């Protein structure tokens, strides 16, 4: 399949990444090189899998069991499952003075000038967090990050097993006349349809980790909506009202 034929299956904003994957695959298959990606989103992982097919060996891992963001390796040789270049950092703070959450920790890391692709999942409890990072930035973070959201923190390389993540969620019900994306988003965000269309045009709305631009998309049970700076919403249940004129949607928002 030609590059042009491959690109037509992907959105325009995904094509630079697609081009990089295609180039990496050629290096692996033609030049017998090993390609190791930084942390990839769910959508990027899907793109890699769809492009390489069975053309080479693939391994993936994110440092945690059931990680969302993962590093992937393409290799002409057999691969082990051991992840030698991912470090888990443990962050601790005094819960009497702070309640740090995922956005606080991610924001502090990005403020150090670290690229998002070098950071994997961040898993939090009420007094600690664990962060998966590429090995090459682990020592820098340990040495530089001392305060998060005005709270003093201690960061060290983790020697323990995975913490049990505490996910805070908000559950609520939405009554809507349609399952169209723009109508549901308008009610979710308490915004006008024109504002929602503006958001859709700015590459900040995703359904199941895929960027979308059309407000006419029909939503389904288990769809996950991600809106940058607004949060992530999962449609847990959709029921029609008795007269079938509206839909009652049970929604769970990660907070």
User: Of 157, 177, 209, which residue sits at a domain end?
Assistant: 157
Query: Can you give the CATH number for the domain in which 70 is found?
Result: 3.30.1370.160
Assigned domain for 163 exists: no
How many domains, the chain? Answer: 3
Angle between helix 42-52 and helix 15-31 axes, rounded to 10 deg: 40
User: Of 56, 75, 94, which residue sits at a domain end?
Assistant: 75
Which residue segment(s) compose the domain that 36 sits in? 3-75
The per-residue pLDDT for range 185-213, each reduced to its tens digit, is 999 999 999 999 999 999 899 999 999 99
Q: Reply yes or no on whether the pLDDT at 145 is more than 90.
A: yes
**90, 71: one domain:** no
Q: How far is CA 207 from CA 15, 92, 111, 185, in A?
A: 18, 33, 28, 12
The per-residue pLDDT for range 43-80, each reduced to its tens digit, is 999 999 999 988 899 999 999 988 999 999 999 988 77
Q: pLDDT grade, residue 164 (50/70/90)?
A: low
**44, 71: one domain:** yes
For 23-32, 88-97, 160-169, 200-209, which range has the lowest pLDDT when averaged over its residues? 160-169
pTM: 0.82
Identify the pLDDT of residue 255: 67
Average pLDDT on 20-24 reads 93
Assigned domain for 81 exists: no
Identify the pLDDT of residue 4: 67
Q: pLDDT grade, residue 161 (50/70/90)?
A: low
CB atoms closer than 10 angstroms to residue 31: 8
User: Of 109, 125, 157, which residue sits at a domain end?
Assistant: 157
**69, 105: one domain:** no
Assigned domain for 80 exists: no
Contact 94, 150 (CB under 8 A): no
pLDDT over 70, % of the chain: 94
C-alpha dihedral, 6 to 10 to 14 to 17, nearest 10°: -20
């Amino acid at each position: 399949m030609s590059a042009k034929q491959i690109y037509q299956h992907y959105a325009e904003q995904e094509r630079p990444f697609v081009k990089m994957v295609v180039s990496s695959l050629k290096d692996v298959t033609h030049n017998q090189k090993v390609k190791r990606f930084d942390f990839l989103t769910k959508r990027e992982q899907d793109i890699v899998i769809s492009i390489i097919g069975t053309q080479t060996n693939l391994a993936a891992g994110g440092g945690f069991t059931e990680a969302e963001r993962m590093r992937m390796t393409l290799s002409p040789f057999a691969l082990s499952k051991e992840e030698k270049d991912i470090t888990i950092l443990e962050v601790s703070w005094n819960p009497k003075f702070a309640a740090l959450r995922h956005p606080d920790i991610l924001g502090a890391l990005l403020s150090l000038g670290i690229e998002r692709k070098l950071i994997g999942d961040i898993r939090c409890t009420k007094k600690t967090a664990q962060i998966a990072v590429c090995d090459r930035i682990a020592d820098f973070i340990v040495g530089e990050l001392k305060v998060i959201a005005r709270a003093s923190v201690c960061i060290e390389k983790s020697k323990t097993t995975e913490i049990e993540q505490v996910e805070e969620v908000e559950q609520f019900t939405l009554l809507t006349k349609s399952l169209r994306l723009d109508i549901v988003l308008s009610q979710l965000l308490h915004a006008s349809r024109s504002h929602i269309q503006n958001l859709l045009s700015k590459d900040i709305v995703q359904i199941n980790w895929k960027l979308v631009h059309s407000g006419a998309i029909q939503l389904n049970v288990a769809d996950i909506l991600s809106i940058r700076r607004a949060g992530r919403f999962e449609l847990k249940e959709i029921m029609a009202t008795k007269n079938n004129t509206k839909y009652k949607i049970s929604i769970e928002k990660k907070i």
